[in-house]
Amino acid sequence: MASAQSQEDQVLEEETSFVRILTLNRPRQLNALSAQMISRLLELFQRYETDSNVKLLILKGKGRAFCAGGDVAAVVHGINEGAKFFSKEFILNYLMATYTKPQVSILNGIVMGGGAGVSIHGRFRVATENSVFAMPETALGLFPDIGASYFLSRLPGFFGEYVGLTGARLDGAEMRACGLATHFVPSSRLALLEEALYKVNSSDPAVISAVIDKFSLEPYLKDHSAYHWMDVIDKCFSRRTVEEILSALESESTNRADAWISDAIQSLKKASPTSLKISLRSIREGRLQGVGRCLIREYRMVCHVMMGEVSKDFFEGCRAILLDKDKNPKWKPSKLELVNDNMVDQYFSKINDDRWEDIKLPARSNLPATAIAKL
């Protein structure tokens, strides 16, 4: 009973007539997704999809985070547990991406990694002035997973490569500008927005969008926002290799003293070279693939990362950043030029080991046009 009870405590469920409100409830851990939370969300989303009384889902986080990511520190302790964790998480991401009912995610705080996976795939994403979005995986020896190669590759220009490789933090206005958020609502209006949504008796996205629109505004992009420099981002991050991206940024930095450029250069130099190379290829492949194919490929990549045959950077990154917290990972290979194409190819290959099978995504039917478009 204890684990079932803790599952229910970690995801709180409220009902109004046609709406279900789910609250991620591990505020001290910034609502990082545990295996129990993922199982609970999967169970609830599956149940609601077949319940004709449920027209709309609202997902939010308790405290100052929506969700700071998957609980990867827990994953590192056992490879088999890790594979199960990622498999269930990716199935949940797929279900959300192809869901037949609208999901409104209220992103009033930190949204990182796995937190993006349980929100960005849904129909509506509401940012506020408290939102902080990032995909920080390359600093951990991982890569933007949870279907990120699908949604990052569909951001304007090469902004997805910028966000995915550097782990840059975006505020709510930037999330709205690039399309990661569908709406921006000041946090002072969230209680009124939620009250209005609780009264909704429709699954029609136009009806729900009109309700959110009443509380929305177009936010002001800060002067120093990198989004003002999309021409420079496109010029640098459209390059074919990570080495070329870095060298393009360095030559831009000699002409201009913008903080975002020096931050991007620093982030790329600190990140795992292997992670950067597999992340760039993943986002590039994602541009031409549906969300299901992206998740199947990313699951293969995650299995290769966990097996550590090419590089053990994920374990080293977790040690340096999450466990020992010395923030000084020793990456192997240590330089971009030491990571060759054959090494990168291995992460994308089918695994020849009976213990590791490709992920089997559930069959989906009667999907709305918005979900079919993602396939």
Handedness of CA 96, 98, 102, 108 (dihedral sign): positive
Q: What is the SS3 assignment for 20? A: strand
- Nearest partner of 216 among 154, 173, 171, 169, judged by Cα: 173
Q: Kindly name the residue from 61, 69, 70, 286 that is annotated as catalytic.
A: 70
Q: Kindly name the residue from 61, 82, 109, 114 that is annotated as catalytic.
A: 114
Cis peptide before 273 (omega within 30 of 0): no
Q: Kindly name the residue from 71, 89, 113, 145 that is annotated as catalytic.
A: 145
Beta-carbon count within 10 A of 352 CB? 6
Contact 370, 123 (CB under 8 A): yes
CA distance 292 to 357: 16
The 132-134 sheet, strands edge to edge: 65-67, 110-112, 132-134, 170-171
Q: Kindly name the residue from 61, 109, 113, 137 that is annotated as catalytic.
A: 137
Q: Which residues, 6 or more positions from 244, have their beta carbon under 8 angstroms from its beta carbon?
A: none
Instruction: Tell me whether residue 129 is one of the annotated catalytic residues.
Output: no
Instruction: Tell me whether residue 9 is one of the annotated catalytic residues.
Output: no
- Angle (CA) 121-73-104 rounded to 5° is 20
Instruction: Tell me whether residue 145 is one of the annotated catalytic residues.
Output: yes
Q: Read off the tokens for 147.
A: 């279907």
**Catalytic residue positions?**
70, 114, 137, 145
